[in-house]
Amino acid sequence: NKCQKLFKKCPKHVQAAFDGLLEELEEKGPVLPERPNYSKLGDYTHHCHLFYSWVATWHYNKKKDKWLIEVEYVGSREDAPY
């Protein structure tokens, strides 16, 4: 999908930082207020800067007892969808 294509274009250090974010989302859930450079964009949409010029956004909802988290964007903050 589009997000995977954007991810593959990111530098390796950004990809590694994003992998760390994914692990944290899996472990802690979609709301990460203790994470540096994190903020809410809406009720169910969040983002964080992986580095100064690189950002990831995701949205979520809860299905039964599990979080369904979908990454919407990972890439340059200049092109971020917010």
Q: Which tens digits make up the pLDDT trace of 18-58?
A: 999 999 999 999 999 999 999 999 999 999 999 999 999 99
- List of E strands, 1-82: 38-40, 45-51, 54-63, 66-76
Token pair belonging to 14:
């950004």
The angle at the Cα of 64, spanning 82 to 19, to the nearest 5 degrees, equals 45
Rounded to an integer, what distance in angstroms lies between the CA atom of residue 22 and that of residue 74?
Answer: 11
* Tokens 């530098």 -> residue: 11
Token pair belonging to 41:
């964009």
Rounded to an integer, what distance in angstroms lies between the CA atom of residue 71 and that of residue 46?
Answer: 10
Does pLDDT of 12 surpass 80? yes
Token pair belonging to 26:
């899996």
Does pLDDT of 75 surpass 80? yes
Contacts of 27 (CB under 8 A, 6+ apart): none
